[in-house]
Structure formats: structure tokens, C-alpha cells
Structure 1
Amino acid sequence: MTEAEETPENASEAKPNQGTLILDATCTPADIRFPTDLGLLNEAREKLDEIIDILHEANVKKQRRPRTYRQKARKDYLNVSKQKSPKKNQLRKAVKKQLQYARRNLKIVDQMLRESTDSINLLSKRQQKLITTIRMLLDQQARMYKTKIHRVEDRIVNLYQPHVRPIVRGKAGASVEFGAKVAISLENGYCRIEKLSWDPFNEANTLIESLESYKSRNGCYPEAILADRIYRNRDNLAFCKKHGIRLSGPKLGRPVAKSLMKKAEKRIERQDAGERNAIEGKFGEGKRKYGLARIAAKLEETAESMIVL
């Protein structure tokens, strides 16, 4: 094939690797209080009590208000929540009580809605959505209580933001954060969001897709990728080796002592660590100056817009 017959695709494949791509991920915490099982159940019970009041006011002449034991439930909640460090048995009993109170209230709400088909119109769309969220919350809490575990898929941590999920970070001072996880790439000083998700994900799985996006923008792969050790899995290393891309970090397997490393390897390691600081600086800039440290938006779409902006 002559140069004139060479296709653009072949030309792009022949183009040598150029540039450096820095990859990392962070969490953008939502503006919610720290969730606890006991606190969520108590809040759900109180919100259902308010809905019962609204539905009862419309039928105040027809029947008496159903008994919900709100004062007793509040007292049971405060007896444990005010303790500095309640015992596990006390906490488990308190969760069971609040779960029973909330289930009773939900059963009453369902019964009142069945008795009058027009009752649903007395509730706002937000309250109708809240009932659905509380129903899911009670199912999750009952499942965790029976199985004595503290993990469940799509766990609800806030009644008004059911899309928010716990993100385990494992960092000092914030082992778990609640918000969206964002995988970011940095190229020539410009940040791009490679993936945004409210569910936890392994950022290493975004590396190949990020490289393909880089190639579509620049016509070639980067010469080097600067990233955490988590990105150095076998699939990513094999992909980088196939396309002649250097992925920063130590080799897989047993770590090599510093004294046995060559001077060139030490120099490259120090240089990579210094250049990787740029993306940490971008995280700090976004969280300190542009509000990424606390996303105040309540709706999922609005929160994502704030993160992207």
C-alpha cells in the first residue's frame, strides 16, 4: 500500500505514543448527616406519623386517629441515642423497636389509602415518593436485622436522597463517605470525568476506556500513565504492554527493596510521584473552591450537574 492509499485509521495506528495521562478517583460527599440504622428508622417513623396526621384530618369525623404510640417510640429512641456508646444488645433492641413502630405506621398508611382512593391526592408528590423510599428502607433494615449483617445492596442512607450510597474510601478521618464516586483524568492541565456513579466501583476498570478516549481525542495513546497501585491489575498491565504504554508503579508480586532498585527506576518513581500530585491538587481545588466537598443539591440530576460543572 502506497502513502496515498494509506487510510486515516492506519495512519493513526502508526502515530507514536505521546503525552502523559494522570488517573485517579475521589468521592464528592453529599450534604447529609451521618446515617445510622436507629436514626433512619426513627426518622421514617416520624415521617409516617406526619402522613397519618394528614390523612386523618380529611376523615376526622368518620373515625378516630389510629394509635401509633409516637410518644413511647420517641422515648425509646432517645433512651439509646443519647448514650455515648450504647452496647450492641441495647442498640439491637432499639433498632427492633423502631422497626416495629415504623412497620405499624406504614401498615396504617396503606390501610388508610386503601379505604379512600382520593386520599392519595392529599399527599404531595414528595410525600408519595417518601412512602416508597421508606418501604424500601424497612425491607432493607428487616433483612439486615434478621441476618445480623450491616451490608445490603443499594443501601438507603437518606430518606430524601435515596440515590446516595456509602463509598468506602479507607482514608484517615473518613473511612466511609456518602456521595457520588468520580473517576477523573488529567491531561495537559485539563480535567475530564471518565466515570460518575452513585454506586461504588473499582476505578481500575476505567483505565482502558480512558485510554481509548485519549486516543480518539489525540490520535494516539499516551506515552505514560500515572496512577495509583490499584490500576496495576493484570488486564491493565497487559493492555499497556500491548500498546507500548508505561504504567507507573511497582511490578506485581513481591515488592523489591529500595536498595535493590536501579538508580533510573528510583528517579522515574520520584518523578512520577511528583507529577501525580497535580491531580491531587485538582481534587483540592474542586473541593475547597468549587464546593465538591459538600454537594448541597438534593435531586440526583441536579447533584450530577453540580459535580460536572
Structure 2
Amino acid sequence: MRKKPRTSRKIARKEYLKVAKKRKVSYQERRKAIGKQLKYLKKNLGNIEDLIQAGASLENLSKRQKNCLETIKKVYEQQQSMWENKTQSVPQRIVSLTQPHIRPIVRGKAGKPIEFGAKLSVSCVDNYVFLEKISWENFNESCHLKEQVEKYKETFGYYPESVHVDKIYRTRENRN
């Protein structure tokens, strides 16, 4: 039976709370705290890799736990990359361990500058709703108006009598 590897869980938690409880945190303090947390996480991921190299198997983990471990590795890589490059964003950024496919969508609205979840484009015909596009990534809806109208014609054999859209669709190209 192998000895359980040492972790710095309690120390890491104290370090985190030291910064999290502050009302205002300077850029340098936040950066230093993130660096420390990344080091603790690197140490723990290294311990897991060492256990695997020593013959421990991931067979005892459930599918959900295996997925979570892989997601944690990806999040670590993303956060480490952002910390090293001093950036605030990374492509395909993971913001949820349990739902890694969800992406933040910057909306710029008052009260809720960022939204989470799928972005979809739908059309309504005779009280039936048709899903035209669904994506977890951000996209501009106005670019797909022509495609949706053409798809309508393909489905029903004629162009719609009228098209009702939001302001975002009123581009010069779409009006033409």
C-alpha cells in the first residue's frame, strides 16, 4: 500500500482566502495569488502523474471523475498560459469543471456584462418554432439572416411574407 502524497490543501486555502476576503485587490496581489495557486495545482497534478507512473490505475475512477481530471488539466494549462503571457483571455476558455463546453459570451449589457449558455437562432412559422442555429460559441446573428430566409424557401417552397427581426439584423447588406 502506497503512502498518500503530501498536499498543501490547507495552506493553499489560507492563501486563497487571504486575497479573496479583501475588498480591493491590486493587480500585483492578484497575480501573485494566482501564481501561488497554480504552483499548488501543478504539485497536485504531478503527484497524480507520479501515482500513475508507479502503477496506480485510473480504473477506480468513475467516468465523471476521469472527465473532471482531464478538464482540470486543461484549465491548468489555460490559466498557466494566461499567467505567463499576462493576458486575460484564451481561446476556448473553460469556465466550468462540470460543464466544460459552456463559454462566456460578452454582451455588454448593463447589470449582466457576461452571459453563459448556448446562443441560438430560431424562426417561428404558424406557431411552430424552428431551431436554425445553436452554438456555445459567440456569433453575430445578423450574418445568418440570408441563410435562414433561403432555408425557409427550401423548406416551404416560397419566401416568407414578412421577416421580423431585432435591430442587430438591420445591416445595410440585410436591408438590400
Q: TM-score over 0.5 for the alignment?
A: yes
**Partner Cα separation in structure 1 for residue 19 and residue 148 of structure 2:** 49
Q: CA RMSD in A?
A: 1.7
Match of 1:85 among 17, 24, 32: 24
CA deviation vs aligned residue, 1:109-145 (integer Å, no higher than 9, x gap): 011011115x211211111111110111011101111
**Partner Cα separation in structure 1 for residue 78 and residue 64 of structure 2:** 21
Partner of 2:168: 230
1:150 aligns with 2:104: no
Give the secondary-structure state (helix, strand or coil) at the position aligned to 1:171: coil
Partner of 2:70: 132
Partner of 2:120: 182
The AA in structure 2 aligned to 1:174 is K
Partner of 1:191: 129
Give the secondary-structure state (helix, strand or coil) at the position aligned to 1:224: coil
The AA in structure 1 aligned to 2:36 is K
CA deviation vs aligned residue, 1:251-305 (integer Å, no higher than 9, x gap): xxxxxxxxxxxxxxxxxxxxxxxxxxxxxxxxxxxxxxxxxxxxxxxxxxxxxxx
1:163 aligns with 2:101: yes
Partner of 2:52: 113
**Partner Cα separation in structure 1 for residue 37 and residue 114 of structure 2:** 25
> Of the two, which has the highest radius of gyration?
1
Q: Normalized against structure 1, the TM-score is what? A: 0.54
How many pairs are equivalent? Answer: 176
1:96 aligns with 2:35: yes
Higher relative contact order (CA 8 A, sep 6+): 1
Give the secondary-structure state (helix, strand or coil) at the position aligned to 1:116: coil
The AA in structure 1 aligned to 2:82 is M
- Contact 1:164-1:179 at 8 Å conserved across structures: yes
- Contact 1:77-1:94 at 8 Å conserved across structures: yes
CA deviation vs aligned residue, 1:123-175 (integer Å, no higher than 9, x gap): 11111111110111011101111122111111000111100100112222111
> Which ranges of structure 2 fall in alignment gaps of 5 or more residues?
none
> Which ranges of structure 1 fall in alignment gaps of 5 or more residues?
1-58, 242-309
CA deviation vs aligned residue, 1:196-250 (integer Å, no higher than 9, x gap): 111111111221221022112332212432223332345434xxx4xxxxxxxxx
**Partner Cα separation in structure 2 for residue 220 and residue 85 of structure 1:** 59
1:216 aligns with 2:133: no
The AA in structure 1 aligned to 2:46 is K
**Partner Cα separation in structure 1 for residue 165 and residue 87 of structure 2:** 34
Q: Normalized against structure 2, the TM-score is what? A: 0.91
- Same amino acid, percent of matched pairs: 44
In 2 relative to 1, CA 97–200 (structure 1 residues): closer, same or farther, beyond 3 Å? same
